[in-house]
Structure 1
Amino acid sequence: MERLLRTIFWGSLLGGMLWIRSSGVHAQHTERVLVTVIEASNAKTDFDVDNDEYRDQLFKLFSYTGYSQLDKTVADLERSKRQLVKLPNDYELLLTLQGEEADRVLVQAVIRKGNSQFVDTILAILRPGVVFLGGPPSEDGTIIIVLEIGF
């Protein structure tokens, strides 16, 4: 009887540990990303972007005189599942969570239009952190995509 109780105890303990481990693994493979779509142009001199903290980085990284925010959305990325974000002029941004590496989140970013693919890259984004990605052309300039994790 004592042996049976010991077996039940250890079996229950092991089962509980496996359940906790599997639920923790699932939680680690979801990441919330703020996607901000900005049009950069030399036809304007305005800075019309919700997040003023982007200003210095935009002027450092790109050589445009004006920046106008077109869209802002939140994408909940799951490991190995593509998340579609619409861009201007029928372009699409596909984001896929690839995993984690130390304090970085690995995200695949693909920019395409129809059957043509223009960018396919893996980004290592600090948590928390921001990445600025030069995108496709727009009517007056270029689309810039800002990906922010830990906002």
Structure 2
Amino acid sequence: MRVMFSSISALVIGLLQFSLIVFCISFFALHFPISAWLAHNGFGGTKLLLGVTVVEFPIHVVLWLPAGYLLLRLRPLPLWVYLALALVPTWVWINRLVLFQGEFSPIGSMLLSWIPELVAPVVATLAVAKLIRPQMPNNSFKPKPLRGSA
């Protein structure tokens, strides 16, 4: 029962996060037209997508921090299962035309668009895990006991 609840929670977290990211990226595109500025300054094609990816990646990481925290709190399955449950349905939905109808764009632009979608959530979740994990003390400075001493 707990596994099913945690799995459904991971799906809901992924769907809500997808909605939040769509809203925020649309808001940023409307109020901070980075792509129009890049295109005006001579960027085009893959260079334009690379510039947009560089700008969007940290935005995605910051937006995924709360969802990453929630995914870390789910138990008993490993973290990668919950990340997959949160990411795969929305990734399939975003790329449904490419995956199911075969309308492939150049592979470079597809890979650049997948970086914020797939890598940023993992980076954000691992960053949260690093921050909330208790730090182990550094015992390397303690001398080792001599043999035969009690």
Fold-level match, TM-score > 0.5? no
**Interval containing the TM-score (normalised by the shorter chain):** under 0.3
More strand by share: 1
Which TM-score applies when normalising by structure 2?
Answer: 0.26
Which TM-score applies when normalising by structure 1?
Answer: 0.26
RCO comparison, higher one (Cα < 8 Å, 6+): 2
More helix by share: 2
